[in-house]
Amino acid sequence: MNDAAVETTEDAHLAARAADGCPAAFTELFNRYYPMIHAFAYRLSLCPGEAADIAQDTFIHAARAITGFRREASFRNWLYAIATNKSRDRYRGRARRERIVREWSALQSDTSESEPHGAAIVREALADLPPELREAVTLVYYEGMNHADAARVAGCAETTVSWRIFRAKQKLKNSCALRACRTPPS
């Protein structure tokens, strides 16, 4: 059995124990997956505080819904789906805040000495993507999922993820090219 299959089996066993009321089992799952979910939430929100809130909301929801976890799906993907939904919920409720974050990012462009010029351009271009395109890019390129797994997490068809990746690449290419022309390296 490969490492992924062993981990999936272990996760299912821990989830079953957690569903039966074993706090140590849920703690083990939390410790195993919190860093991954937090990093995913950060890539979706591009805001450290928002990422922490999304990750916390994800695990609160998972703890309350663990009895409904179907073991046909991987626990990892189940958490990704919860985190994706929590992110969407926060986005819908905080459109105004997203605008403020984008404005702040524009004011702060290239002021970070630790961030290379090209990375700042890509970060700003990602911030300008619509949430569903940024979500697809994050799942596929940052989280390393194939389009089928990303579709399951996002709750859409695999072809939708493929289309979103295609559109995101077009938008990122154009946005990065424009930003590179406008902002000289520091």
CATH code at 89? 1.10.1740.10
Do 124 and 111 lie in one domain? The reply is yes
Distance CA 183, CA 179 (A): 6
Q: Which residue has the tokens 């068809």?
A: 157
If asked whether residues 82 and 110 sit together in one domain, one would say no
pTM of the model: 0.62
Residue 155: count other Cβ atoms within 10 Å of its Cβ: 11
Question: Is residue 68 located within the same domain as residue 133?
Answer: no
The reply to whether 132 and 153 lie within a common domain is yes
Say whether both 9 and 36 belong to one domain.
Answer: yes
* pLDDT value of residue 182: 59
CATH number where 159 lies: 1.10.10.10
End-of-domain residue from the set 64, 93, 122? 93
Predicted local confidence at residue 179, as pLDDT = 59
Residue 16, pLDDT score = 92
**In Å, how far are 22, 66, 83, 112, 170 from 118, measured between CA atoms?**
47, 42, 28, 12, 17
Domain boundary among 43, 66, 93: 93
Domain stop point among 56, 76, 93? 93
Residues 105 and 174 in one domain: yes
User: Do 80 and 145 belong to one domain?
Assistant: no
* Mean per-residue pLDDT pooled into runs of 10, the chain (186 residues): 66 92 94 96 91 95 92 88 92 61 56 59 82 90 89 91 90 71 54
Predicted confidence at residue 14, as pLDDT, reads 93
User: Do 13 and 65 sit in the same domain of this protein?
Assistant: yes
HEC letters along 148-159? HHHHHHHCCCHH
**Number of folded domains that form the chain:** 2
- Give the whole-angstrom CA distance, residue 146 versus residue 157: 13
For residues 160 and 84, what is the distance between their CA atoms, to the nearest angstrom?
Answer: 16
Same-domain check for residues 142 and 174:
yes
What pLDDT is stored for residue 110 in this prediction? 46
Let me know whether 125 and 137 are in one domain: yes
- Range(s) of the domain holding residue 113: 95-186
Same domain flag for 6 and 82: yes
68 and 100 housed in the same domain: no
